[in-house]
Chains A and B, each alone.
Chain A
Amino acid sequence: MIALLRELSQAIGVSGDEDEVRDLILSHIQDYVEDIHIDPMGNVLGVRRGTGAVDLRVMAAAHMDEVGLMVTGFDSDGTIRFKAVGGLDARILPGMRVLVGRDKTPGVVSWVPIHLNRSDDAVDIDRLRIDIGASSRDSAQNAADLGDRIAFDSSFVELGPTVRGKAFDDRAGCASLIALVQGERFPFDLYVAFTVQEEVGLRGAQVAAQRLQPDIAFVLETTACHDLPQNPDEPDQTTITRMGGGPAITVMDRSMISDPRLVRHMVQVGIPCQFRSPQHAGGTDAGAIHRSNAGVPSVVVANPCRYLHGPHSIMSISDFEYQSQLLRAAWMALTPSVLER
């Protein structure tokens, strides 16, 4: 599974331009998933046929897109103007290596050298530029087009019990879902959705759910983790999740309150897991899915990940492997009685 994760993490798919990731996913699922369909928004939809023992329409979703940047202009000095695509912290950008456009032109985010800048002030994202080494507007325009996506340029590294890389949010969820459909059949037909544009507002998942019309939905995600030692003088803040504590079940976030029956079911299957601390921060595809059609009971299972939405996230291999194990165990035990009130 780590090889699969490596491949997915290294692929580039900033929101709205997920083609490279989609092609990769299609190559991994086409022998296992039937009725594969790329919908008008670009979501990959399909069904992993089950044994027929359980009559439930179950949807599982993971988003293909990642946060990044977009080219918005060219300056006369050959630098590139950009905007964020998805939730990005401008403070981590200066000095960052990036890849511009489908040609993956290498670049770096500009900053003022320390010789000239002793300011503690936060960076204003609108004053940053991307430097691809071009010396004029014309040569920059030859290398990139307006609207081109810009992705983090980082490598995938195994660090022993953890892995480091970009876009685990949500390629780790994609990798788990691929592994799940490649394994033993489930008692029900599993409707899978690899969605687009989650990072800009759950846009792909909404139409995916409208088409698939599930009875119940599971979202495979990756979530923040902030479990490093805290300054004892600072307010006692939540860790949100702990790395190594198992996949995190979301009870509540900004976009959804998970269905308590499904939360209970997930906990009861006996695979290590933790609760993501309920915060009004973050949202997932489940926020759109659970409100679709006449309503869909939904739950989120997420991999804890340090330095989320950055080029070098760190994730525990065991948390990641437990994500698919937890879902497999939960799905094998899933019956309509789980939804009884």
Chain B
Amino acid sequence: MEALIKKLAEAWGPSGFEHHVRDLIRAEVQSLADDVWIDPLGNLICRIGQGDFRVMTAAHMDEIGVMISHIDRQGYARFTNIGTLFPATLLGARVRFENGVIGTIGVEHQFTKRRELPGVEGFYIDISQDIAGNADVHVGDPGAFVREVMMRGERVIGKSLDNRLGCVVQIEAMRRIAASGTPHTVFFAFTVQEEVGSRGAKPAAYGVDPHLAIALDTTATGDQPHGKQMAITLGGGAAIKARDTGLIVPAPVKNLLIQRAEEAGIPYQIEILELGATDGATIQIARSGVPTGGLAVPTRYVHTTSETADVRDIQAVIDLLTAVLSQPITL
């Protein structure tokens, strides 16, 4: 599983440009699913089973990134954010464009205003390749952050664990469901454009028309110094969502997830996320409405290049998702 995490997390796929990640995932899942297709917006959807009850799970493939907005008078590439960036993470960060060009991020007044933190507009991307000129990068080109995935004991560290971990959870659950079978029709959706407002998930849900949906994502933790108060601990088990800023999980859905965790002895914690939402927010309002829940892998330092998660939490989410999908469901 660590190898799969490394492969997916290091892949290139800012929102709207997920095709490389999708290709990697498709190669993993093609043989596991009864049917695999790509919908109009680029969501990869995999069906296993043919029961009457349709369950959709969703994990987004995209990651935060940058897009070149103009080249300034000195030849530096100015950029805008794709998804939410924390300016504190930018100075010295590297981004890769689709053609392989690496950009280095600098900041105006680096030494003269070292105690001040500007917004994204105060940063720039150095794309010079020699004294004469720039590498082949243009307005409108998207870029993704570059960072290797590394391990520290049970902790996994890397960029884009949000939400390649959700993708890994879905792939691993697919392996088990493909082997064990399911009484339902399960649609595993690998979605696009979550980081810019869950734009892919709602059309995906429209196409699938599910009776129940579960969004798989990472979530923040409450165990950092002066962090947001939150009852989620790294290593504390699978996070079962109660609510976030875009979704209040219906009690029957939340209770189903808790019940399956209890039955199987899977460690879990209840998530109330006050600073973010997931694909569940838009899936729930697709068509005439979809009862929607969420499972998440607790992750520290989200939206940085060193997001940190715990392998045992990932395992717990896989176990719990598998338990839910392999047994009968009544809401």
Is B103's beta carbon under 8 Å from chain A?
no
Q: Report whether A295 and B206 are in contact in the complex, using a CB–CB cutoff of 8 Å.
A: yes
Question: Could you say which of B16, B19, B39, B199 contacts A294, with CB atoms under 8 Å apart?
Answer: B39
Q: Report whether B69 and A257 are in contact in the complex, using a CB–CB cutoff of 8 Å.
A: no
Binds A, one of B5-13, B70-78, B214-222, B251-259: B70-78
Q: Report whether A294 and B72 are in contact in the complex, using a CB–CB cutoff of 8 Å.
A: no
- A residues 270-302 near B (Cβ < 8 Å) are 275, 277-280, 290-297
Q: Report whether B140 and A278 are in contact in the complex, using a CB–CB cutoff of 8 Å.
A: yes
Question: Could you say which of B15, B69, B139, B203 contacts A295, with CB atoms under 8 Å apart?
Answer: B203
Q: Report whether A239 and B40 are in contact in the complex, using a CB–CB cutoff of 8 Å.
A: no
Encoded as 1 (CB less than 8 Å from any A CB) or 0, chain B from 47 to 66 comes to: 00000000000000000000
Q: Report whether A238 and B78 are in contact in the complex, using a CB–CB cutoff of 8 Å.
A: yes
Encoded as 1 (CB less than 8 Å from any A CB) or 0, chain B from 81 to 100 comes to: 11000000000000000000
Is B159's beta carbon under 8 Å from chain A?
no
Who on chain B is nearest to A257 by CB? B16
Who on chain B is nearest to A260 by CB? B17
Instruction: Give the residues in chain A near B16, CB-CB below 8 Å.
Output: 252, 257-258, 260
Instruction: Give the residues in chain A near B72, CB-CB below 8 Å.
Output: 236
Q: Which of A215, A290, A295 has the most CB of B within 10 A?
A: A295
Instruction: Give the residues in chain B near A275, CB-CB below 8 Å.
Output: 138-140
> In the bound complex, how far is the Cα of B282 from the Cα of A295, in angstroms?
13
Instruction: Give the residues in chain B near A257, CB-CB below 8 Å.
Output: 15-17, 82, 193, 196, 199
In the complex, how many angstroms separate the beta carbon of A159 from the nearest chain B beta carbon? 27
15 contacts between A and B (CB under 8 A): A235-B121, A236-B73, A239-B70, A251-B139, A257-B199, A275-B139, A277-B69, A291-B41, A291-B199, A291-B202, A293-B206, A294-B39, A294-B40, A294-B207, A295-B207
Is A341's beta carbon under 8 Å from chain B?
yes
> In the bound complex, how far is the Cα of B193 from the Cα of A236, in angstroms?
29
Is B315's beta carbon under 8 Å from chain A?
no
In the complex, how many angstroms separate the beta carbon of B121 from the nearest chain A beta carbon? 7
> In the bound complex, how far is the Cα of B144 from the Cα of A238, in angstroms?
21
Known pairs A235-B108, A236-B74, A294-B39; list 10 more (Cβ under 8 Å): A252-B80, A257-B82, A277-B139, A278-B139, A279-B69, A292-B203, A293-B206, A294-B203, A295-B40, A295-B204
In the complex, how many angstroms separate the beta carbon of B43 from the nearest chain A beta carbon? 7
Encoded as 1 (CB less than 8 Å from any B CB) or 0, chain A from 240 to 261 comes to: 0000000000011000111010
Q: Report whether A290 and B70 are in contact in the complex, using a CB–CB cutoff of 8 Å.
A: no
> In the bound complex, how far is the Cα of B139 from the Cα of A93, in angstroms?
34
Instruction: Give the residues in chain B near A215, CB-CB below 8 Å.
Output: 40
> In the bound complex, how far is the Cα of B206 from the Cα of A258, in angstroms?
20
- B residues 191-218 near A (Cβ < 8 Å) are 193, 196, 199-200, 202-204, 206-207
Is B36's beta carbon under 8 Å from chain A?
no
> In the bound complex, how far is the Cα of B80 from the Cα of A278, in angstroms?
7
> In the bound complex, how far is the Cα of B199 from the Cα of A297, in angstroms?
12
Is B230's beta carbon under 8 Å from chain A?
no
Instruction: Give the residues in chain A near B81, CB-CB below 8 Å.
Output: 280
> In the bound complex, how far is the Cα of B43 from the Cα of A204, in angstroms?
26
Instruction: Give the residues in chain B near A278, CB-CB below 8 Å.
Output: 67-69, 80, 139-140
Question: Could you say which of A251, A256, A295 contacts B140, with CB atoms under 8 Å apart?
Answer: A251
Is B38's beta carbon under 8 Å from chain A?
yes
Question: Could you say which of A256, A277, A296 contacts B40, with CB atoms under 8 Å apart?
Answer: A296
Instruction: Give the residues in chain B near A235, CB-CB below 8 Å.
Output: 108, 121
Instruction: Give the residues in chain B near A290, CB-CB below 8 Å.
Output: 41, 199
Also in contact, A294 and B193, with CB within 8 A (given A275-B140, A277-B139, A278-B67):
no
Instruction: Give the residues in chain A near B202, CB-CB below 8 Å.
Output: 291
> In the bound complex, how far is the Cα of B140 from the Cα of A277, in angstroms?
7
Question: Could you say which of A258, A263, A296, A341 contacts B19, with CB atoms under 8 Å apart?
Answer: A341
Instruction: Give the residues in chain B near A239, CB-CB below 8 Å.
Output: 70
- A residues 36-73 near B (Cβ < 8 Å) are none
> In the bound complex, how far is the Cα of B108 from the Cα of A257, in angstroms?
28
> In the bound complex, how far is the Cα of B209 from the Cα of A293, in angstroms?
11
In the complex, how many angstroms separate the beta carbon of B270 from the nearest chain A beta carbon? 30
In the complex, how many angstroms separate the beta carbon of B110 from the nearest chain A beta carbon? 15
Instruction: Give the residues in chain A near B70, CB-CB below 8 Å.
Output: 238-239, 277
Q: Report whether B40 and A297 are in contact in the complex, using a CB–CB cutoff of 8 Å.
A: yes
Also in contact, A295 and B200, with CB within 8 A (given A252-B16, A280-B81):
yes
Instruction: Give the residues in chain A near B203, CB-CB below 8 Å.
Output: 291-296
Encoded as 1 (CB less than 8 Å from any B CB) or 0, chain A from 154 to 165 comes to: 000000000000
Instruction: Give the residues in chain A near B200, CB-CB below 8 Å.
Output: 295
> In the bound complex, how far is the Cα of B42 from the Cα of A296, in angstroms?
10
Also in contact, A341 and B121, with CB within 8 A (given A257-B15, A257-B16, A293-B206):
no
Instruction: Give the residues in chain A near B196, CB-CB below 8 Å.
Output: 257
Q: Report whether B39 and A295 are in contact in the complex, using a CB–CB cutoff of 8 Å.
A: yes
Also in contact, A238 and B39, with CB within 8 A (given A252-B16, A293-B203):
no
Who on chain A is nearest to B23 by CB? A341
Instruction: Give the residues in chain A near B139, CB-CB below 8 Å.
Output: 251, 275, 277-278
Who on chain B is nearest to A239 by CB? B70
Who on chain A is nearest to B122 by CB? A235
> In the bound complex, how far is the Cα of B38 from the Cα of A278, in angstroms?
26
Instruction: Give the residues in chain A near B40, CB-CB below 8 Å.
Output: 215, 294-297
Also in contact, A295 and B73, with CB within 8 A (given A257-B196, A278-B80, A341-B19):
no
